[in-house]
Each structure stands twice: as C-alpha cells, then as structure tokens.
Amino acid sequence: MIHAERLFKGDTIGVVAPASPPNLKKLEKAIPFMESMGLKVKVGNHVSKVNGYLAGTDAERLEDFHQMFHDPSIKAIFCAGGGYGTARITDSIDMELMKKNPKIFWGYSDITYLHTAIRQQTGLVTFHGPMLSSDIGQDDFDDRSKELFHQLFEPKTLRYDSRFSETETIVAGEAEGPLTGGNLSLIVSGIGTAYEIDVQDKILFIEDIDEAPYRVDSMLNQLKLSGKLEEAAGIVVGDFKNAEPTNGRPSLSLDEVLDFYFSGLDIPVVKGFKIGHCQPHFAVPLGAKATLSSDKGLQIEPGVR
C-alpha cells in the first residue's frame, strides 16, 4: 500500500465536488474549521457548477480532480459532498497521475466508488470521513468527529472505543487484514465492473443511509451470491441511518436482516460502529491494516506516513 505524506500546519488542501452539487453556504461555513487546523484551502474551479444532479459536467468534475493531484502545492484533497456521480468519471481518472503524486484523499458516501477504484488500481490508502458541506458545515458537527482529523497530522493507530458507541457482536472471533468498503449501495453497484471490490482476506466495512430493510436485504444477498461474504476476513457494520420500513407495510427489522446474512458466517462480525452518515463519525483510513475483535474492538494502523 502507498501511504500519503502527513499534513503539516501551513499546508494547502484542495476541495473538489466529484458527485452532486454541494451546499455552497455549508461549504463556506466549513472552511474556517479547516483553517483552524492551520491549513490553507483552495476550492476547485468547478465546485460551484450545477449540471442537473451533478456538480458540473463529467469533464469539469474530472478536471478539478486531476488538477488537485497535479498541483504540487496541494497536499490533500477533500470532497465537498457526495450524492451521485463519481462512477461516471472513474473510468477516465488518470491513475498513473495519482501513483506519481500520492496525496491524502478524504470523503465518503458516493465517494466509496472512488475509494475502491483508487485503492485497487494505485495502492493508495484513502480516508472515509466527514465532508465539508454535508457534515463539517452542519450545526451539529460533533467534537468527536473533529478529533479524527488529527490522524492526518501524525501517524497514529486508531482504536474505536465506547466514547463513540457501544458495539454488538453478531459473530465472535478475531481477524486482521486491510480495511475496505464503505457505502453498501456503491459497493454493490461496482460488482461486475472493472472496479468490483476485492474483499479477499480483508476486513469489509459497510454503511448506508435511507435504505429500507428490504433494500439492505437485497444488497447483502448480492454480496452473498457473488461470494463476497465468504471471502472477507471479518465484517464491520457501520451506521445505517433511517433504515426503517416504508409505507407501513410488514417488514423485517434491520437487525433481523443483518442476523440472517451474518450469523452463520465463520468470521467475526460486529455491528454498531458510528461510521457513516452519522454524528459522531469515526473517520478511518481504507487500505490500512486493521484488526477486528469481538472482545477488543476495532484497531486500525496509521493511514499516513
């Protein structure tokens, strides 16, 4: 794996919008937080563009993305928000440019598609964490979420503890391997493509938002039938915000769905992690070596050098 260089006070970070249009007022509100860490902020040329449900055309979003990796003054790249659109530009990304200029890349949700593609084609460790307009710029952005940005300034082992949440074991055990995954719907959408997620002997992390239990059932069934659940070394179940039945119809609960797909596996599976569309949001380096234990919790090695 390739670890990007850590940040130092005085460094400049870039902001891109590779998916949907960000809330510009929330983005503006988030910038002082980044500056409070001693960072300078450069916003991509096309971040304010709107092309239907996309933040500009595919070419414009791709141009900002490439420019930030090409610019030697930019030390890290943060996504303004998610939504939809990263899969449309993934096939056109210059992966060689990223290999030659490894930098911190941070985001989540729809950014999952980029995380998977970048890591598997370049080896770069990327970060699943809160974004500027959709999280940092919100009034309820949690102090515990803010603390996790410190991992970018100093290589440090992360340990998930009860300050964030209590977790619950579905299958007991312990396993180690690189951490991979992210948003469940984006993971599933990549199956059958050149960017299909590789979970062999890895700790698979999943989360999602606004998906009813039957939808989670459908996506987990696809992971099962494609062999992904059996290949994983362990599974971390993050936050599934608003995973509630719709229209008042009879439904299984989310917990019943999770138990159905996971309880029979011969690998550790632990749920209840505050990682995803939630506050606090425990930011993690994807691609870094992790240890998942039903007794000791989740531990992840540094994501920067």
Catalytic positions are 109, 207, 277
Handedness of CA 146, 148, 152, 154 (dihedral sign): positive
The gap from C-alpha 208 to its chain's centroid, in whole angstroms, comes to 10
Name the residue with tokens 């008042």.
248
**Residue 212: both structure tokens together:** 């009813």
Burial 270-287 (b: 16+ CB within 10 A, else e): bbbbbbbbbebbbbbbbb
Handedness of CA 190, 50, 108, 288 (dihedral sign): positive
User: How many CA within 13 A on the CB side of residue 181?
Assistant: 31
Identify the CA nearest to 286 among candidates 199, 189, 225.
199
